[in-house]
Structure 1
């Protein structure tokens, strides 16, 4: 039996990658994703977004209904709106890390994502409307339960600069990264990454890294891009991404993911 001449698994970041800068997914991209799934490929979104920001993209998840969210901390069933598997930061570790960061970085602000709730300090500068059940409290209360992500914001610093300050403070206790947001670093439990959860998901599907292609644009995508058999960085990607990927795709605003998928699949009309 001849092996298929297309990737068995397609893994893609969302913002800056599959999603255009205006927050939309183009009709061209939708058609390319549906064509890939119709041909038998498994398509999975792998994102820093929290679960609630996936519901509008539920039409893209395919029959398996699964997305990897919160930088790999949550394996999420989009249609049923439930976490299947979580890898969370334990409160004692999160508090220790937050205290170390606050002691060293002036004017730092904290927020958290739990699998089912967002929370922030009163001073945290959130660029999006808060969900209805948001927890507004001191960081000690925010971290009184396990968290999928600890968000660290310092508005006067670039993301790369802030990450450079945070990494030596947290060491191996947690995993720190960023997804391109100015002055924002995202902290997950130790060992958590997009790659780790994607590898587990792929194994459950009976798919190897060699049979996978992955798309990304930012620092938090690097482990996933390294794991995949073929990696694509978007033309608009962070320089660290473009330095290591196998191939460069057109920019997100030029439907770069769709352009690559169209090389393998005939779009669904």
Structure 2
């Protein structure tokens, strides 16, 4: 791990505890990594409005990859660094295909301005005041960073398989929820592809990147990076994809990995 220059970590189920907190130990590890010259990038499926809750833990600066790679946000400048959206025509066609293949599917759209939902989309989190509800043709009126599909009776694997076949590559479909909620990004947009673009800007190669994650939407970046960790609480497919196993998120697993990384970098200089 001595050649690592950048640590890319997922948030929920990975860096963040199950109660939504970021512990002092984790904050200290992130600060220590930065002081040692490592870049730390948050790479999350969260929309911007949720990701902002943890930006203080990157010191109020740096970049964060949100919405599964659709948006890179300049934390200090509070502005877009890179956006890779789904265009409305494609999104509406994707929704049409999924609904035809899986009746009773309902959709929501995430943009920089927030979330808009179909009437039948039952959100599990508080819906912001002023959020628009309407048919997909109405709510998908501008480019979006994420298209969401929810089904209330099918299991996520069955829903994912049917939707993926119907969509046939028009968008990227992934999953990171405990319910049957599919998350869709523009074709070719994943956590990995956007992280690769960010690293290319910095002259950092894949073998100089360490990644940590816990859910299927993390698999592309785990298999892309030179060093990868699945959390002990990770989905089985994620544990199978990663090179190493980290302690669970509720055991400050990210902090423990960073501490080991910093120890390994210091070791050659110690007596």
TM-score norm. by structure 2 comes to: 0.93
For the pair 1:249 / 2:246, whether they are aligned, the reply is: yes
Q: For 1:35-74, what aligned pairs fall within 5 Å after superposition?
A: 35-62=32-59, 64-74=61-71
What is the match of residue 260 of structure 1? 257
What is the match of residue 165 of structure 1? 162
For the pair 1:236 / 2:233, whether they are aligned, the reply is: yes
What is the match of residue 192 of structure 2? 195
What is the match of residue 120 of structure 2? 123
Q: Report the CA distance between 1:138 and its aligned residue.
A: 1.0
Q: Distance in 1 between matches of 2:211 and 2:257?
A: 11
Q: Distance in 2 between matches of 1:55 and 1:112?
A: 19
Contact 1:13–1:221 (CA under 8 A) maintained in structure 2? yes
Deviations 1:141-178 (A, max 9, x none): 11121111110000223322221121101011111011
What is the match of residue 25 of structure 1? 22
What is the match of residue 80 of structure 1? 77
Q: Report the CA distance between 1:53 and its aligned residue.
A: 1.0
Q: Distance in 1 between matches of 2:219 and 2:252?
A: 21
More helix, by proportion: 2
Q: Report the CA distance between 1:64 and its aligned residue.
A: 4.6
- Number of aligned residue pairs: give it: 263
Q: Report the CA distance between 1:254 and its aligned residue.
A: 1.1
Q: Report the CA distance between 1:81 and its aligned residue.
A: 2.7
TM-score norm. by structure 1 comes to: 0.93
Q: Distance in 1 between matches of 2:150 and 2:78?
A: 28
What is the match of residue 205 of structure 1? 202
Q: Distance in 1 between matches of 2:113 and 2:37?
A: 32
Q: Distance in 1 between matches of 2:258 and 2:13?
A: 17
Q: Distance in 2 between matches of 1:154 and 1:50?
A: 20
Task: Give me the CA root mean square deviation.
Answer: 1.5
Secondary structure of the structure 1 residue equivalent to 2:261: coil
Contact 2:61–2:76 (CA under 8 A) maintained in structure 1? no
Contact 1:89–1:149 (CA under 8 A) maintained in structure 2? yes
Q: Distance in 2 between matches of 1:114 and 1:238?
A: 28
Q: Distance in 2 between matches of 1:82 and 1:181?
A: 31
What is the match of residue 153 of structure 1? 150
Q: Report the CA distance between 1:6 and its aligned residue.
A: 5.4
What is the match of residue 222 of structure 1? 219
Evaluate the alpha carbon distance shift between residue 202 and residue 62 of structure 1 in structure 2; reply closer, same or farther with a 3 A threshold: farther
Q: Report the CA distance between 1:117 and its aligned residue.
A: 2.2
Q: Distance in 2 between matches of 1:62 and 1:160?
A: 38
Q: Extract unaligned runs of 5+ from structure 1.
A: none
